Amino acid sequence: MEQARNYVCTECASAVPSGHKFCGACGAGVPTEAQTLETRFFGALQMPGKARLIVVRGDEAMGEGLSYLLQATEHVAGREADQIPFPSDNWLNPTHANFLYRGEKLVVRDEGSLNGVYIRVRGASPIQIGDHFMCGQQLFRIDATPKDTSGPEADQTHFYSSPRRPSAFRVTQVLEGGMDGIVCCATEQTLQIGREDCDINFPDDVYMSPRHARVEMSGESLELADENSQNGTYVRIRGERELSHGDYLFLGRNLLRVEVTA
Amino acid sequence: MIVCSRCSKENQDHYKFCLGCGAELPRDSSKPRSFSGPTPPGSSTSKGRTTDAPQARAGRAEALASAPQLEVDPTPVEAARSKPVAVEDPLPAELAPLGDETSPCPHCGAQVPRNFRFCHVCGDDLQADPSPEASADAPAERVSAPAVAEAPQRATARARLVLIQPDGSEGEAFSLSGGRTLIGRGTGGIFANDAYLSPEHAEFRFEGDQLVVKDMESLNGVYVRIEPDVPIELFDGSIFRVGQEILRFEAPVAPDPADDGTQYMGSPHRGYLGRIALVIGRETTGDSYPIPPHGIHLGRERGDVVFPEDGYVSGLHCRVHSEVGHVFVTDVGSSNGTFVRVSIESYVPQGTFVLMGQQLFRAEY
């Protein structure tokens, strides 16, 4: 005993090869489900698209675990965006960033946003004066340490300052609302950030690893290195940035994972 | 009665820590005083200057001061000081050099130098007893003040600035007359070789029996040592000195939000009161720390902000904290003291240390 290998006409019990719309023996119609040669996906998320974004930590209104397929050529994300909306995050501009394809490559472009797009640093990343980066809940900016090069006053009085120590760069904590917080001038080639025993410490930031990241100067160039922190170190992109599978992005309060499938 | 700001428990006046929650209680918080704060805009009653006294016999000074609006809580207790109480009546200057004369604290019995307003052991206000006639005296003082200030110069020396040498010993002394005395690099003598003094740096004069110093818009300013455990108010731009470190208090400022309603992203803002920044140049600051609502301590070894490389900073030196919505610096018993830069002019009580240029002086009169 065995089962018929094809669809069987419900009128005349003849076998109908798949793809036929009518029974060849009696002319009866074949239901649409039996006509198709394609196997459908259970859901759109299974679609072998080029890439998608998964909201790891996200907008209260939209919820976590949401997934956005990037099937079109451009996908705008923002507080009032149609494609990737984060309506309750006021750290996002109405139009904040755009996910688009350049050839086969997925890139993210900062659409001139106030607060930018941050990408998780893999290992270490070159960084420049003026760049912003994030560790735990904290946001930082790299500045050059200002130098007072002016000499004595016209009347030959010298300015009395605190003891100066040579410093090439410094890290400034940026508080929500835009005010500067902690400023730490590097006195050596390395400046360490973490929860304790570092140059800048955040004992009450539960998302910060004990030793989280460091900024290092070699020659004239600066490098931001993540020290295998649990939650990663994120650097603000300039303009646009190519994405690859497993990248993490911060848009405002939203943490997104990039999955590139093709 | 002191009501704890953290748990609202009522504590007796002399308690340092709350019985309910252990939080440090504000010491004498009803009378924190500003230290030569800037004149608030629009105070047309001011004679164009602000005079506040940091120390003991400030009461009379405040009755004279033309900026009572700077008082956080002006109490009649202060004005009462113009009627001196017997116990604090100072001996003639020649008989009472700093610290040699002490009297027992009525609260804890410790021997307290007579020029201290508060007991350095228990923090008790040694002059807390108001005398009833005092408030009647104050207005009279105020009226007579200009006359006193404009009094013709007396040729005889009325006060001395005694140079304190790096090893702590006394050096030369500079005499101040009863009139106006201008000092600076240009006036020579013990000031001649200090490149950090402006040619015309400061002016001393007497108002009544109070010595007053006025900063003549000098580059580096005049710093007056504050009393331990007495909060001195800080304003945006106030500068104070701890060891060799010059620190500036900056009130919180934030940029305007963007037009489209986007807020500035950043680290959690824990209700910071402002921040203190290390002055490393004319217009330049270095390391900075925001001040959370519970305040910060500064020291060489202990505290939220430490200066391990500055041997002139005490282990725990001072704190910057908030009382009744204002920000204060309080010395917590440091060896070398906390000095606040005089914004325009300030009273200099007998025995007070004054920093000008690279040199430290003690005012004696």
| pLDDT at B83 exceeding the cut of 60 | no
Query: Would the pLDDT of A57 be above 80?
Result: yes
Residue B130 pLDDT > 60: no
DSSP B87: G
Among A179, A196, A204, A205, the residue to mutate for chain B (most B Cβ within 10 A): A179
> Residue A59's pLDDT is what?
65
By CB atoms closer than 10 A (0-12, 13-18, 19+), residue B283 is exposed
Q: What pLDDT is attached to residue B93?
A: 38
Measure the CA–CA gap between A213 and A85, rounded to whole angstroms: 31
Per-residue pLDDT reduced to its tens digit, A211-226: 999 999 999 899 999 9
CB contact under 8 A, A179 and B254: yes
A153 touches chain B (CB under 8 A): yes
Alpha carbon distance B133, B196 (integer Å): 47
Residues of A in contact with B195 (CB under 8 A): 152, 156-158
φ, ψ of residue A215 in degrees (nearest 5): -105, 130
Residues of B in contact with A160 (CB under 8 A): 196, 219-220, 246, 357-358
Between chain A and chain B, how many beta carbons pairs sit less than 8 Å apart?
145
Task: Please report the pLDDT score of residue B272 as a whole number.
Answer: 94
Whether B265 sits inside 8 A of A160 (CB atoms) is no
Reduce the secondary structure of chain A to three states and give it as a string: CCCCCCEECCCCCCEECCCCCECCCCCCECCHHHHCCCCCCCCHHHCCCCEEEEEEECCCCCCCCCEEECCCCEEEEECCCCCEECCCCCCCCCCCEEEEEECCEEEEEECCCCCCEEEECCCEEEECCCCEEEECCEEEEEEECCCCCCCCCCCCCCCCCCCCCCCCEEEEEEECCCCEEEEEECCCCEEEEECCCCCEECCCCCCCCCEEEEEEEECCEEEEEECCCCCCEEEECCCEEECCCCCEEEECCEEEEEEECC
Please state, rounded to an integer, the average pLDDT across all residues of chain A. Answer: 91
- Chain B hits for A158, CB-CB cut-off 8 Å, are 195-196
Rounded Cα distance, B286 and B245, in Å: 11
Query: Using 50, 70 and 90 to split pLDDT, how confident is the model at A262?
Result: low
Q: Please answer yes or no on whether B252 and A179 come within 8 Å at the CB atom.
A: yes
φ, ψ for residue B147 (rounded to 5)?
-60, -40
- Residue B206 host element (H or E): strand B202-207
**Predicted local distance difference test score (pLDDT) of residue B61:** 37
Average pLDDT over residues A108-134: 97
Task: Pull the structure tokens for residue A97.
Answer: 């960033």
Average pLDDT value for residue range B347-363: 94
Q: Which of B247, B254, B272 sits opposite A178 (nearest CB)?
A: B254
Q: Find out whether B299 and B316 touch, Cβ atoms under 8 Å.
A: yes
Strands B222-225 vs B338-341: parallel, antiparallel or unpaired: antiparallel
In a mutagenesis test of the B interface, which of A161, A184, A255 is the best target, namely the one with the most B β-carbons within 10 Å?
A161
More confident residue, A80 or B67: A80
Query: Mind telling me how many Å the CA of A104 is from chain B's nearest CA?
Result: 32
Going by pLDDT thresholds of 50, 70 and 90, the confidence category of residue B9 is confident
- Choice among A132-136, B84-88, B255-259 with the minimum mean pLDDT: B84-88
Residue B212, judged by CB atoms within 10 A of its CB (0-12, 13-18, 19+), counts as: buried
Rounded to a whole number, what is the distance in angstroms from the first to the last CA of chain A? 44
DSSP for B213-263? EEE-S-SS-EEEEPPBT--EEE-TT-EEEETTEEEEEE----PPPPTTSPP
What average pLDDT does the segment B237-255 reach?
A: 94
Residue B336 has phi, psi (to 5 degrees) of: -95, -5
Q: Which residue has the higher pLDDT, B325 or B313?
A: B313
Residue B122: φ, ψ to 5°? -110, -10
Nearest-Cα distance to chain B for A42, in Å, is 39
Q: Measured in whole angstroms, how far is the alpha carbon of residue A43 from the centre of its chain?
A: 25
Query: DSSP characters for B117-134?
Result: SB-TTT--BTT----TTH
The lowest-confidence range among A46-50, B129-133, B331-335 is B129-133
> Which residues of chain B from 191 to 230 reach within 8 Å of chain A, CB to CB?
195-199, 218-220
CA distance B149 to B208: 7
Residues 6+ apart with CB under 8 A from A215: A127, A142, A169, A171, A186, A190, A191, A193, A222, A223, A224, A225
Mean pLDDT of B330-351: 95
- Residue B77, min C-alpha distance to chain A (Å): 38
B1 has a chain A CB within 8 A of its CB: no
Of these ranges, A27-31, B58-62, B163-167, B248-252, the one predicted with the greatest mean pLDDT is B248-252
- A67 pLDDT band, cuts 50/70/90, is confident
Whether ipTM > 0.85 holds is no
Residue in the block written with tokens 């002006």: B74
Please enumerate in sequence order all residues whose Cβ is within 8 A of that of B132, keeping only pairs 6 or more positions apart, or say none: none
Does residue A145 contact residue B286 with C-beta atoms inside 8 Å? yes
SS3 content of chain B, % helix, strand, coil (to 5): 10, 30, 55
**Is the CB of A181 less than 8 angstroms away from the CB of B277?**
no
